[in-house]
Homo-oligomer: A and B are copies of this chain.
Amino acid sequence: MAATTPRITAVDTYDIRFPTSRELDGSDAMNPDPDYSAAYLVLRTDADDGLEGHGFAFTIGRGNDVQVAAIDALRPHVIGRPVDALCADPGTLNRDLIGDSQLRWLGPEKGVMHMAIGAVVNAVWDLAAKRARKPLWQFLAEADPAWLVAQVDFRYIADALTPEQAFALLREGRVGAGRRAAHLRARGYPGYTTSPGWLGYGDEKLTRLARQAVADGFTQIKLKVGADLDDDLRRMRAARAAVGPDIRIAVDANQRWNVDEAITWTRALTPYDPYWIEEPTSPDDVLGHAAIRSAVAPVRVATGEHVQNRIVFKQLLQAGAIDVLQIDAARVGGVNENLAILLLAAHFGVPVCPHAGGVGLCELVQHLSMFDYVALTGTTENRVIEYVDHLHEHFLDPVTVRDGHYAAPATPGFSAAMRPESIAKYRYPDGSYWANATAAPDPHTKGAAA
């Protein structure tokens, strides 16, 4: 017998890790050996529609268990909520999670606890979009502007963007939305690829993959930099020779530098026309980014994948510290906070080029950019979604990239669901892959060998 008021009955969590460090996929100046991982959750209900909400935080290996524990700590806020009310207003749960008067101490609104909130909130949006039988981008694009405004927490950002200004942006964004949705379905949303540029790849592989990227229709690629300047100059020269002058080459230092180093290093690369310098220094350093930007122009400054919340993004925009804002679908407090960030970017006229890659980040973030195009800024000019061709095979509704463009998802939801067989295989430490993996000595037990 179905319950008369369907409720959330379970928040099941999973520690899922892929052994990507063995291939040097994803290697950069700060992250030499990531094992791309997901602290994954499934919201289950007692409705008779068979629908679940899926979400996850992305990590790069160790500590994924801590991230799972943080999601587990949110469970009492979610269990028992009526599904109709929850999906009609994810913003209430979002505020309740952020406002938990005890858990708040562990952030506030940053790091492990905030990513946990993002994972749970995103799972609710997945469920809400599935119930509406729309892919999330369409669910958002067709939502009432006043309702979208109510989904945003304006605390700490109202000095830069008021609810009234947000409403005006969204109302204006609806003009022509139907035409843009049709164009999106036909053509897709432009992407760029980081696949050629991992720091662990040799020059031959870099050159080959860069040429392949152009052949595949991409008009922008990205190179990881920051470990050794001579290497970077050589790799940048090789990449520029491979793709010619008309393809944009972004470079990404992954926070490797102090402010002065960032300026010196970026200027040294300027002869090869880098399109943007990404994460030149700490993601926390608003004033540092502003100093770098004014010193390295016309090279653009981009950051965001590690920016903890809307409050830091607000300041990056207020200080004129960035040319390109890089949202991440799984770093901040979920769709609600990313709505706030998209609105801030639109208000300040700064293009959003999402961070993606990892596990499932492409699958999630495409929906946010597509909403931005269809029903907020109305343009894809100077906007591209990062694309990395890794691990998509583990998702039930993987991204499709054709001719350098992300195809608009048609399946209802947030494209977050992993294949059950992938979960069974890569669940840590008891999935079949890890249970069978040779027990290697832990390289991080340093003292023992000293």
On A, residues with C-beta under 8 Å from B are 7-8, 30-35, 59-63, 65-67, 69-70, 73, 76-82, 85-86, 96, 100-115, 154-156, 158-159, 255, 258-260, 281-288, 291, 306, 308-309, 311-312, 314-315, 318-319, 442, 444-450
Contact = CB atoms under 8 A, between A and B. Distances in A.
Given A445-B76, A445-B79, A113 B112 contact: yes
A314 B284 CA distance: 10
A448 B81 CA distance: 6
Given A154-B258, A282-B311, 16 more contacts: A31-B105, A34-B102, A63-B70, A63-B113, A66-B113, A67-B106, A69-B69, A77-B446, A77-B447, A78-B447, A79-B445, A79-B448, A80-B448, A110-B308, A159-B259, A286-B315
B100 A62 contact: yes
A107 B158 CA distance: 26
A380 B288 CA distance: 32
A81 B308 contact: no
A49 to B, nearest CB: 18
| Copies of the polypeptide in the assembly | 2
Contact of A258 (B65, B76, B159): B159
10 contacts: A7-B447, A8-B447, A35-B102, A66-B73, A66-B112, A81-B446, A109-B284, A112-B113, A156-B258, A287-B319
Contacts of A96: 446
Contacts of A281: 156
The winner among A70, A158, A255 for most chain B CB atoms within 10 A is: A70
Given A155-B258, A285-B156, A70 B66 contact: yes
A65 to B, nearest CB: 7
A447 B311 contact: no
B104 A31 contact: yes
B60 A105 contact: yes
A73 B81 contact: no
Given A66-B112, A110-B308, A159 B291 contact: yes
Contacts of A80: 445-450
A38 to B, nearest CB: 12
A156 B102 contact: no
A70 B112 contact: yes
Nearest to A318: B287
The winner among A33, A67, A314 for most chain B CB atoms within 10 A is: A67
Contacts of A63: 70, 73, 102-103, 105-106, 113
A294 B31 CA distance: 41
A81 B447 contact: yes
Contact of A284 (B105, B260, B311): B311
Contacts of A7: 447-448
A288 B108 contact: no
A282 B319 contact: no
A448 B75 CA distance: 12
Nearest to A262: B159
A32 B102 CA distance: 9
Contact of A104 (B30, B110, B113, B444): B30
B258 A158 contact: yes
Contact of A286 (B30, B61, B282, B287): B287
Contacts of A286: 286-287, 315
A429 to B, nearest CB: 14
A103 B60 CA distance: 8
Contacts of A156: 258, 281-282, 284-285, 288
Contacts of A260: 158-159
Contacts of A105: 31, 34, 59-60, 63
A109 B287 CA distance: 18
A106 B287 contact: no
B444 A62 contact: no
Given A82-B450, A155-B258, A260-B158, A284 B100 contact: no
A7 B33 CA distance: 28
